[in-house]
Amino acid sequence: MSSEILSQILWTEKYRPRSLKEVVNQREIIARLMKFVEEKNMPHLLFAGPPGVGKTTVALALARDLYGDNYTRYVLETNASDERGIDVIRTKIKEFSRTAVPPGVPFKIVILDEADNMTADAQQALRRLMEMYVETTRFILLANFPSKIIEPIQSRCAVFRFMPLSKEDVVERLRYIADKENVEYDEEALEVIYEISEGDMRKAINILQASAALGKVDVETVYKVVGLAHPKEIREMIQLAFSGKFVEARNKLRKLMIEYGLSGLDVVKQMHREIFSSDLSIPEDIKVTIADYIGEINFRLAEGADEEIQLNALLAKLVLLGNKIGGVSSRKH
C-alpha cells in the first residue's frame, strides 16, 4: 500500500508532524533537540515514556530536520519487537553503520523502536556497536520501559523522558484534525476522547477517526466506538448498589455487559474510575475500603475467575457499605 493511500486511511500518519517545530507538547525536549539540529551534532539518544506521546514522531522529525526530505537514505528505522535478536544487530545494523556518511552531517542515524524488547545478548552486541561506530552513526533508542535497557547502554545515551500530553494540547490537535477533515463534533466529545486516551495522542486520533466514520462525533458515539459504557450508567449502577437495591444493580450490570459487550475487567476499571471521580459523594474511608476490594476483584478476574460471580460479589460489598453510610448521591444530574 502506497504512503499516499495510507495517509488517507490513517489520520495518525496523515497528521504526523514532519518537523520538530510542528510537534505539540514536549517543549523542553524539542528545544534541546533543536540545538542538535543547529550544531549538526548529537550524542546517542534514549527516548523514554508511555505509548503515543510522540517518541517515534520526534525521532523522525529530528532526522528530517537534519537531512531534509531525503532523510530515509541516511536513517535506518527498525522495530525491536520484530527484530530483537542478536543476528539483526550483527548483520542489518552493523552493515548500515559501516556505510558512508551523508554530506553536510557527519553521521547517520539508527532508530531502534521498542528497544526495551531487545534480548540481553542483542543489547550487549548493540553496546559494542555504539562504541565502534560512534564517529559515523548515532543511535536513537525508543522505549516504553527504560529500566529494561541495560545500564551500559543507558550511560552512553542522553536520556529524554517524554510525558503524557496535556489535555489542552490533545484537544487542540483533535480540533485541528476534525476541522481539516470537515468533521462535525461536540467539544465535550473531544474532552471525553482525551480522558479515554489518557494522554496517548495516537489512541486519541484513532478514536476520533473511528467516531467520525459514524457521523457527528458526540459523547455517545465515542463511548460506542471504544466499547465502554457511558459513565452515567456506571454511576447509576453504583448508586443502586449503595441504596441497597442489589437485584436492580445486578440487572443493570447484566444489561451493560450485554449491550456494550464489556468484559469483567472493563466494568471493574470503569467502576474504579467513577468511584474516585468527583461526581459521587462517597466518604474517604469508604473509598479506601472499596479500592482495596476492587483491587482484589481485579486480581481474581485477571487470574481467570468467573466474571459474574466476582462482579456480583463487588456489588454485594457496595450494598453492605451503603447500609453503613445510607447510600450516595451524584453531583451530576
Question: Please, what are the domains in the chain?
Answer: 3-161 (3.40.50.300), 167-226 (1.10.8.60), 231-325 (1.20.272.10)
Confidence of residue 118 (pLDDT cuts 50, 70, 90): confident
Confidence of residue 317 (pLDDT cuts 50, 70, 90): very high
Q: C-alpha angle with apex 245: 240 to 248, nearest 5 degrees?
A: 80
Q: What pLDDT digit, counting tens, does each position of 236-291 carry?
A: 999 999 999 999 999 999 988 887 788 889 899 989 988 887 667 788 888 899 99
The pLDDT, as a whole number, for residue 171 is: 93
Higher pLDDT, 258 or 143: 143
Percentage of the residues of the chain whose pLDDT score is greater than 70: 90
pLDDT of 328 reads 60
Is 46:146 a contact under the CB 8 Å cutoff? yes
Give me the pLDDT at residue 331, please: 57
Tell me the pTM.
0.78
pLDDT at 59: 93
Q: What is the pLDDT of residues 163-174, one digit of tens each?
A: 888 889 899 999
Residue 5 pLDDT grade (very low, low, confident, very high; cuts 50, 70, 90) = very low
What does the pLDDT average to over 116-127? 84
Q: What is residue 89's predicted lDDT score, i.e. its pLDDT?
A: 66
Residue 98's pLDDT band (cuts 50, 70, 90): confident
Mean pLDDT value across residues 61-70: 90
- Compute the mean pLDDT over every residue in the chain, rounded to the nearest whole number: 86
SS3 readout for 148-213: HCCHHHHHCEEEEECCCCCHHHHHHHHHHHHHHCCCCECHHHHHHHHHHHCCCHHHHHHHHHHHHC
Q: Which helix (H) or strand (E) holds 145?
A: none
Amino acid at 208: L
